[in-house]
A = this chain, B = another copy of it.
């Protein structure tokens, strides 16, 4: 029975960093009893649809990995992505953790790479916690000013 639980990962060909592989690796460590299914789509606006298809295949949770360009139109696409994922979570009740890296977060490729890797790993941990412990799992970290991909800013 256990081996039939599954979690989905969707990333993009648009991304400049292979966040999907990072997520697969980390989720395998964190959720050994789950089957990890990884899919890839062209860009961020395709993520909600693929996440839906993974949920229809039985996944209990999905991690979406988006890379957002620097232009204003990319930001509008980000709105559509975000509304779409929010609606998907409302309509299905499934845990969907969205990891987005914005290409204009840094002009330094190494920095951007570091952000993408750490953000993906941190959110893989969030997803694993939410699947294993439910919504109570992250209460211990509530209000701590946690950031993924950056230093935590801490509580005020």
Contacts and interface: CB of A to CB of B under 8 A. Distances in A.
Interface of A: 10-21, 37-42, 45-46, 48-50, 52-54, 56, 68, 72-73, 75-91, 93-98, 102, 109, 112-113, 123, 126, 130, 134-139, 141-148, 153-156
A11 to B, nearest CB: 5
Contacts of A80: 79, 82-83, 85-86
Given A83-B86, A139-B38, A16 B145 contact: yes
Nearest to A100: B73
Contacts of A109: 156
A13 B125 CA distance: 13
A44 B20 CA distance: 23
- The count of identical subunits is 5
Contacts of A79: 76, 79-80, 82-83
A75 B73 contact: yes
Nearest to A50: B135
A2 to B, nearest CB: 22
Contacts of A87: 84, 86-87, 90
A91 B90 contact: yes
Given A18-B155, A19-B143, 16 more contacts: A15-B143, A16-B154, A18-B142, A39-B134, A39-B139, A40-B137, A41-B130, A42-B97, A45-B82, A46-B97, A48-B86, A49-B95, A53-B135, A77-B82, A83-B86, A84-B90
Contacts of A76: 75, 78-79, 82
